[in-house]
């Protein structure tokens, strides 16, 4: 086994910890666990899941790492409301994508379980709330299910998902259901989202498309336990505003006027931060990279948790696909709450844009009126117990939900995932090249990629 392979394998030796599945194949059990022969320093910008994992992998290899985080907290788009209900409520990422994913395996290795069992859905069709199990022979229902099931097979000229729906002859009666199942879940709307980007990612991804929810533990607590040893290396309230990589060492400065120096820098900030040019790069990033960054979008995203005195949407219902301001309400307690009385409104794209600037109380009133209309008898307004509004646009260093490829951007992720001058390495969900952007697992995989890139620089063949 050559030296570089041996060093990469170190990640596999961490007991009870994350593994680099892509490197499993070349593991040699007889090898000692080699450290990277490097006495320099790597700075990681951003203490979201990508930054924490990249820092942790390097730290395990004996590299001197520091994490610079703009906000006062770690976890980024992972955040929990631990005491809102009788189970942890996720205000950011909740579903674990695919049982063949790094994130799923990490959670499983830690001994936590996933909610199991089949579930029904409620669809608003013809102004009526109908259980999917009761309308399965409706031809429009079949069209919706076929459209979602065939997304990975699309290979025509890129167009909006909305256009592709029209092209397939699917009418307005169920178009809003598809906006809940596709546009909103991908962080936007069907009329902005490019279908080719989704198709290519679905075809590329190997993690599996089933979605799982964790029982009894919130994602942040799981992250903190996994990355416990690296948390002390986070410098909070360090919003990086400039990176000069013209010299031997990379010079960084933050908004507070503090300066930092490193041999290499991993940039693991949201795409919104790069698009808005919060960070001034000197020299400027390569032109194709800047073009790539500009082509991706990240729309506003809200989660509104509504806790009721009773469950009126159905004990076995997972999602309500609606036709108003909220594309999808998720019964997040299903399989993990004894009471199962919380609906989470997942609102992205133009629906979320419409809520910007509103008071939380007004948003909650609007949603309760929406649910009253769907389920009748003022059932939501008379049964509301508590509510919580999470507006990700208000987070100053995140500013939205997650990245998506609008029409024409399908092939551009590789542009934003390139390393620059062997000194700058770009991680984060938007840079995922394995078909898993917009997810926690995608962020984790991007961390593995940048660590491999750094090993390739430090330990040439
Ligand atoms: C509402 C919502 C629902 C979601 N649902 C799911 C889901 O169900 N399943 C799923 O898998 N994923 C979901 N996601 C996506 C998932 O949360 C993200 O893909 C993932 O957490 C991104 O991790 P990251 O490390 O790439 O970025 P982030 O978590 O955004 O971390 C980036 C960090 O960089 C910091 N930063 C920004 N600018 C600077 C700067 N200049 N200097 C220093 N630090 C800076 C930020 O403060 C932040 O801590 C959801 C996200 C949202 C918002």
pLDDT of 226-235, one tens digit each?
A: 999 999 999 9
Tell how far the Cα of 438 is from the centroid of ligand 1, in angstroms. Answer: 9
Residue 81 placed within a domain: no
Cβ-in-10-Å burial (0-12, 13-18, 19+) of 265 comes to buried
pLDDT category, 12, cuts 50, 70, 90?
very low
Q: What is the pLDDT of residue 7?
A: 63
289 and 254, same structural domain?
Answer: yes
366 and 328, same structural domain?
Answer: yes
Q: What is the pLDDT of residue 116?
A: 82
Determine whether the shortest distance from the Cβ of 7 to ligand 1 is under 6 A: no
322 and 419, same structural domain?
Answer: no
257 and 173, same structural domain?
Answer: no
CATH number at residue 43: 3.50.50.60
* Average pLDDT of the segment spanning 33-44: 87
Residue 309 placed within a domain: yes
The closest-lying atom of ligand 1 relative to the alpha carbon of residue 68 is: 43
370 and 325, same structural domain?
Answer: yes
305 and 200, same structural domain?
Answer: yes
123 and 32, same structural domain?
Answer: no
Minimum CA distance residue for ligand 1 atom 15: 439
State the residue range of the domain holding 49.
3-75+219-297+405-458
Cβ-in-10-Å burial (0-12, 13-18, 19+) of 249 comes to middle
Taking each helix axis from N to C end, the angle separating 49-60 and 219-226, rounded to the nearest 10 degrees, works out to: 20
Determine whether the shortest distance from the Cβ of 395 to ligand 1 is under 6 A: no
Residue 194 placed within a domain: yes
Residue 284 placed within a domain: yes
* Number of domains observed in the structure of the chain: 2
Cβ-in-10-Å burial (0-12, 13-18, 19+) of 193 comes to buried
277 and 141, same structural domain?
Answer: no
Q: What is the pLDDT of residue 63?
A: 96
Task: Report the chain's mean pLDDT, rounded to a whole number.
Answer: 93
Tell how far the Cα of 270 is from the centroid of ligand 1, in angstroms. Answer: 6
Residue 110 placed within a domain: no
Minimum CA distance residue for ligand 1 atom 7: 93
CA atoms of 320 and 371, how far apart (whole Å):
10
Please identify, among 400, 416, 439, the residue that sits at the C-terminal boundary of a domain: 400
Determine whether the shortest distance from the Cβ of 314 to ligand 1 is under 6 A: no
Closest to 304 (Cα-Cα) out of 387, 381, 382: 387
* Average pLDDT of the segment spanning 259-280: 98
pLDDT of 415-455, one tens digit each?
A: 999 999 999 999 999 999 999 999 999 999 999 999 999 99
Place of tokens 């430090």: 458
């Amino acid at each position: 086994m050559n030296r570089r392979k041996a060093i990469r394998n170190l990640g596999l030796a961490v007991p009870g910890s994350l593994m680099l599945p892509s490197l499993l194949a070349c593991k040699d059990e007889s090898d000692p666990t080699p450290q990277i022969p490097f006495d320099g320093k790597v700075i990681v910008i951003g203490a979201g899941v990508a930054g924490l994992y990249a820092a942790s992998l390097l730290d395990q290899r004996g590299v001197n790492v520091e994490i610079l985080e703009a906000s006062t907290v770690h976890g980024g788009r992972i955040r929990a409301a631990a005491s809102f209900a009788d189970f942890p409520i996720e205000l950011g990422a909740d579903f674990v994508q695919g049982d063949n994913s790094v994130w799923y395996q990490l959670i499983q290795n830690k001994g936590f379980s996933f909610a199991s069992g089949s579930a029904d859905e409620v669809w608003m069709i013809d102004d009526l709330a109908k259980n999917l199990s009761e309308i399965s022979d409706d031809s429009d229902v079949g069209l919706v299910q076929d459209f979602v099931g065939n997304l990975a097979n699309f290979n025509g000229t890129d167009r909006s998902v909305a256009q592709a729906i029209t092209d397939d002859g699917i009418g307005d009666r169920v178009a809003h259901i598809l906006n809940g199942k596709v546009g909103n879940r991908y962080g936007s709307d069907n009329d902005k989202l490019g279908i080719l980007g989704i198709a290519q990612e679905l075809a590329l991804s190997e993690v599996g498309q089933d979605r799982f929810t964790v029982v009894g533990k919130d994602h942040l607590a799981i992250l903190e336990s996994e990355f416990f040893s690296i948390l002390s290396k986070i410098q909070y309230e360090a919003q990086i505003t400039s990176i000069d990589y013209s010299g031997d060492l990379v010079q960084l400065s933050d908004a507070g006027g503090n300066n930092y120096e490193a041999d290499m820098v991993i940039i693991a900030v949201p795409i919104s931060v790069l698009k808005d040019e919060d960070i001034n790069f000197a020299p400027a990033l390569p032109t194709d990279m800047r073009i790539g960054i500009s082509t991706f979008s990240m729309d506003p995203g809200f989660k509104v948790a509504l806790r009721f005195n009773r469950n009126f949407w159905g004990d076995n219902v997972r999602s309500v696909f609606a036709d108003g301001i909220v594309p999808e309400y998720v019964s997040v307690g299903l399989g993990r709450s004894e009471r199962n009385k919380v609906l989470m409104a997942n609102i992205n794209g133009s629906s979320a844009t419409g809520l910007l600037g509103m008071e939380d109380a007004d948003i909650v009133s609007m949603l309760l009126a929406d649910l009253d209309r769907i389920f009748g008898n003022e059932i939501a307004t008379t049964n509301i117990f508590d509510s919580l509004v999470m507006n990700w646009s208000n987070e100053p260093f995140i500013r939205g939900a997650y990245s998506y490829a609008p029409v024409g951007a399908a092939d551009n992720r590789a542009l934003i995932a390139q390393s620059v001058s062997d000194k700058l390495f770009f991680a984060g969900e938007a840079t995922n090249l394995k078909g898993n952007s917009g997810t926690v697992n995608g962020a984790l995989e991007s961390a593995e990629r940048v660590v491999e890139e750094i090993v390739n620089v430090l330990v040439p063949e």
